[in-house]
Structures are given as structure tokens and as C-alpha cells.
Amino acid sequence: MDTLTKKIQRVHPPAFKARVALEAEREGKTIAQLSSLFSVHPTQIKQWRTVLEREAETLFSDRHRKVEREKDELILRLYEQVGKLKVQLDWLKKKVGIVEHESISA
């Protein structure tokens, strides 16, 4: 593919997507106007608005908080497990080192 005709895919930060979706939801401007204003394809703006409409309800629900809390608890348990395994590994390395030194000197 020729480098001049190659399309560059832009990655927009979540805050930008939210701002554009909120503007589309307000309906103060048309999708075409927002597309020109933010330099984003109209279809993309419609998709972001749809995501906002679909997910907005869960942002303030107890279920959303519960999922976040469960995720945080899982991360904490995994860090604890990693810590325990590291201690065990260090202990085993120490024991193997002592056994190796004893067998070498004997």
C-alpha cells in the first residue's frame, strides 16, 4: 500500500470520547457539526453516544460498585499470593544454596 494513501488510525483518550458523546447527547448541535468541530467521523460519534446511553445507567448503580470492589479484592489477593510465593522461592533458593555448599565441601 502506498504511504500517501495509507490511513492513520487515531486513538482517542476516554475523556475525549466522553466529551464528544455528551455533546452528541445534548443535541445542541447536529452530528455533522460535532464531526467538524472535533474532527471525528459521524459514525464514530454515534457509536460513542450509543455506548454512553447504554452504560450511563450502570455508572451509578450498586452493581458497578460491587464489580469494582470485587476487582480490587481480587488484585489484593493476587498480590498477597505473589508475595507468599516470592518468600517461598527465596527460602528454597537459600536451602538449595546451603545443600550445594555442603555437597561441594564434602
Domain boundaries in the chain?
A: 11-60, 61-106
Check residue 70 and give its pLDDT: 93
Question: In this structure, how many other beta carbons lie within 10 angstroms of the beta carbon of residue 19?
Answer: 14
pLDDT for residue 58 is more than 80 = no
Average predicted confidence (pLDDT) for the chain = 85
Which residue is associated with the grid cell 488510525?
Answer: 9
Does 2 or 92 have the greater pLDDT score? 92
pTM (global) more than 0.85: no
| CB-based burial, 37-72: b 16+ in 10 Å, e otherwise | ebebeeebbeebbeebeeeeeeeeeeeeeeeeeeee
What is the rounded end-to-end Cα distance, in angstroms, of the chain?
A: 69
